[in-house]
Amino acid sequence: MALFLKRDTKVYLEKVGASTVIWEIPVMDGFNFSQGNTTSETVLNEMATPAGISKRGRRVFNDALAPADWSLSTYVRPFKAVGSASAGFADNVAGAGTHHAIEEALWANFVGLGTPGGGATYDFSLANITADTTDTNISFAGSNRIELGKFNLYFVVGAQLQGSSDYDGANVNVKIYKITDCVVNEATVNFDVDGISMIDWSGMGSALSEVSSFDASNAIVEDITNTDNFIRNKLTSLEVTAANTTTYPGDSSDGVYTITLTGGSVSFSNNIQFLTPETIGIVNRPIGHIAGNKSVQGNFTAYVEQIASDTSTSGQLLADALDDITTVTNSFELTFTLGGLGNTPSMAITLPTAHLEIPSVQSEDVISVDVAFHGLPSTITSNDEATITYIGAT
């Protein structure tokens, strides 16, 4: 009898197009995948006969399969490609030193169609991602789509027993679960002050099935075993800049703040919905998805700090926000730099026109402030609410 342990699982993302490309996605404990179904029932509900008899039967019917749900967590891991054929993919991109992220394939399908371009295995130039020897930029410019990138996810339980990252499907002591036509619905970046930068991903797919084999021997695996591409949250910084630095919100501040964080998060959501027919007499299956309204929101926390003659502190931001009671929609540029300004590796999340809610004061051992924010586009029809930048280790 074979038992399967979660820690022996490998996860692969497969993009099928003009050519099939596979990425290994190193995940953390806590991943999940499942698929349920919807049912209906018919019951009998009648009054009694003169003998006190009443039919009380019940029938249950499977109506439809619900979309498959999946969730997993990855670390934020930017790196510089080595640019050689042995790398598995970087030889086709802009040479050695091109910046990438191990989780880049998930972002490519979140912000667009996720289609590799230019014939390069790891070149997402057609998916709102530009990579060069300076950094990698992930843009939301092409995210106004009815349908976003689709891919297949494989959870290979027992693959770790192979002792290699290039699982080829040869070992029979594995269970291989495939979710077809997956989409990324949400991505949340957390700033746990004592932790390592990570992203919580979740999404849906059209069908979950068990398959007999899966060949990942050509999967992209560059830098997944290195340890120089992790980011410590302790180094994270935040810059807050008001849209009008000369008038917001009063004479006491120039509208520019440098905040030392104690925690926070940024959540991105596509609000995906899957469509399923309602034909009676058969078990209906999801036929596809549509993307709903984009949402970027989160919060950050900091100690209430006040320094004489320094108008850039969290205490000054709290005071200015409490004074500004007339602005209907304010506008700030927020730049979270995971890993710290000028450090490598790092990841920057820029929200150029964010709306800040009035901060709330937290009465803890050290008085803190909690600020909720919404990443908004410059206009209601624009798609420039966020930009994500990765810089790999030197």
Q: What is the pLDDT of residue 187?
A: 97
Residues 6+ apart with CB under 8 A from 73: 27, 28, 30, 31, 198, 199, 200, 201
Q: Is the pLDDT of residue 88 over 70?
A: no
Percentage of residues of the chain with pLDDT beyond 70: 86
Range 108-127 average pLDDT = 70
Range 70-87 average pLDDT = 79
Q: Is the pLDDT of residue 28 over 70?
A: yes
User: What is the DSSP-derived secondary structure letter of residue 49?
Assistant: P
CB atoms under 10 Å from CB of 23, counted, come to 26
pLDDT band, very low/low/confident/very high, at 59 (cuts 50, 70, 90)? confident
pLDDT band, very low/low/confident/very high, at 182 (cuts 50, 70, 90)? very high
Q: What is the pLDDT of residue 90?
A: 42
Residue 106 φ then ψ, to 5°: -70, -40
Q: What is the pLDDT of residue 91?
A: 39
pLDDT digits (tens, 9 = 90+) for 280-315: 888 888 888 899 999 999 999 988 887 766 667 888
CB atoms under 10 Å from CB of 61, counted, come to 12
At which residue do the structure tokens 């009008």 appear? Answer: 244
pLDDT band, very low/low/confident/very high, at 83 (cuts 50, 70, 90)? low
Average pLDDT, the chain: 84
| Global pTM value | 0.88
Q: What is the pLDDT of residue 230?
A: 93
Range 373-393 average pLDDT = 92
Q: What is the pLDDT of residue 92?
A: 42
Tell me if residue 152 falls in helix, strand or coil: strand
Structure tokens at 159: 């693959």
Q: What is the pLDDT of residue 222?
A: 83
Q: Is the pLDDT of residue 190 over 60?
A: yes
Q: Is the pLDDT of residue 374 over 70?
A: yes
Q: What is the pLDDT of residue 62?
A: 85
The strand pair at 136-139 and 387-391 is best described as antiparallel
Q: Is the pLDDT of residue 362 over 90?
A: no
Q: Is the pLDDT of residue 218 over 90?
A: no
Q: What is the pLDDT of residue 219?
A: 85
Pick from 204, 381, 206: nearest CA to 285:
206
Give the Å distances, CA to CA, from 254 to 98, 240, 248, 315, 373. 38, 11, 7, 14, 20
Exposure on the CB side of residue 118, measured as CA atoms within 13 A:
17
Task: Domain ranges for the chain, please list them.
Answer: 6-35+64-391
